[in-house]
Structure 1
């Protein structure tokens, strides 16, 4: 989660708003791919057509962006991996958010003071 948010903040502070928005457009495609790969989710024909449409739209957006969207890919993939990890971690909400916050605190402070 910290990677996704750090990338988002970096994108906004460095005037890469299109990369930031593209990262959130890419995220559902990564979630679907990870679900199919690791959770053995099956797509119906209409779902596969919808994913294909999304990939076509993504390809068009990347071509129009005219540079490799590494930041957008980082944002999308890191948040999708976070979601996948949360599927396997079975803590209550308060314990989970406390652990995540304590883990993110030193990284956040480091980024803030650099």
Structure 2
């Protein structure tokens, strides 16, 4: 999948994979790849700055935790992050319905 397709949706995807539980950065990347069936392979140079930005915005919080006997920075949603994810999902549904209507078969055209 083209990187342009992800642009504008990265924040929502990161929040979504962090919704069930806190994860460290590499686990976030792996979760996105797994959920996308391997279609999305995010780079660390994209994900870590985004996680830091979401934390600065108050949508995530992080803390150092031992993972496999190594300290790793784990990220989790804040209440504001959960609210933002609800809004992002609603916006996504509206967007995909609108684009789907335009891209649908010419038989539906007026």
TM-score (norm 2): 0.35
Greater fraction of residues in strand = 2
Looking at both structures, which has the greater relative contact order when contacts are Cα pairs under 8 Å and sequence separation is at least 6? 1
Greater fraction of residues in helix = 1
TM-score (norm 1): 0.34
